[in-house]
A = this chain, B = another copy of it.
């Protein structure tokens, strides 16, 4: 990033997420922002019957509202990412065996990553989502075990990181790359533009 250009007409920002990937994406755009943990129990909602993209939007709204209620004059940015494969949503692996099961499903197959974004400001909300299709190359059981040994899969939805060693496993994507990383900067910009905020 050669020049840091602050967005114009922008209220103070809060990122309602403790994800290091989302923090890194916003920092890469030269933004000043606070990070706050929304403290939302994602397992506590009965949303399994919703389509995966609606689950991602629902959870991004819950995260945004959790912070916005006490910070109405900040612009709150929240995001939620869901990995959808063979008709099921894959969360973060509970242990290495769970990571192995997830990667066994994903290898030699395609899946869809949905990220929902919600912005909250002065009691208004705006939300949207994108879906990105991802193709992972075929992996042997031994290759999956070696990837798990890097520790990279353990805190990631779907048990891989497209920006890390996982990049060696992903043949191609169709959609927005940053959506797979955890938040599409393209979609974030589009939503900010609706509120008159622009980066350059």
In the complex, the answer to whether B151 meets A3 with C-beta atoms within 8 Å is yes
When all copies of this chain in the complex are counted, the total is 2
Mask: chain A, 163-189; 1 = CB below 8 Å from B; 0 = not: 111011111111111100000011001
Of the candidates A167, A175, A185, the one having the most CB atoms from chain B within 10 angstroms of its own CB is A167
**8 smallest A-B Cβ distances: which pairs?**
A177-B177, A168-B189, A2-B151, A167-B185, A146-B200, A174-B174, A3-B150, A172-B175
Contacts of A151 in B (CB 8 A): 2-3
Task: Using A167-B178, A173-B173 as known contacts, say yes or no to A152 and B1 having CB atoms under 8 A apart.
Answer: yes
In the complex, the answer to whether A185 meets B168 with C-beta atoms within 8 Å is yes
Mask: chain A, 29-70; 1 = CB below 8 Å from B; 0 = not: 100000000000000000000000000000000000000000
Contacts of A171 in B (CB 8 A): 176, 186
A residues near B (Cβ < 8 Å) are 1-3, 5, 28-29, 132, 137, 146-147, 149-152, 162-165, 167-178, 185-186, 189, 199-200
Of the candidates A168, A170, A189, the one having the most CB atoms from chain B within 10 angstroms of its own CB is A168
| Cβ-neighbour of A29 out of B29, B165, B174, B200 (below 8 A) | B165
Interface of A is mostly: mixed
Contacts of A168 in B (CB 8 A): 29, 185-186, 189, 199
In the complex, the answer to whether A152 meets B189 with C-beta atoms within 8 Å is no
In the complex, the answer to whether B165 meets A173 with C-beta atoms within 8 Å is no
Contacts of A149 in B (CB 8 A): 3, 5, 200
Task: Using A165-B1, A177-B177, A185-B168 as known contacts, say yes or no to A147 and B200 having CB atoms under 8 A apart.
Answer: yes
Question: Could you tell me the distance between the alpha carbons of A186 and B136 in the complex, rounded to whole angstroms?
Answer: 10
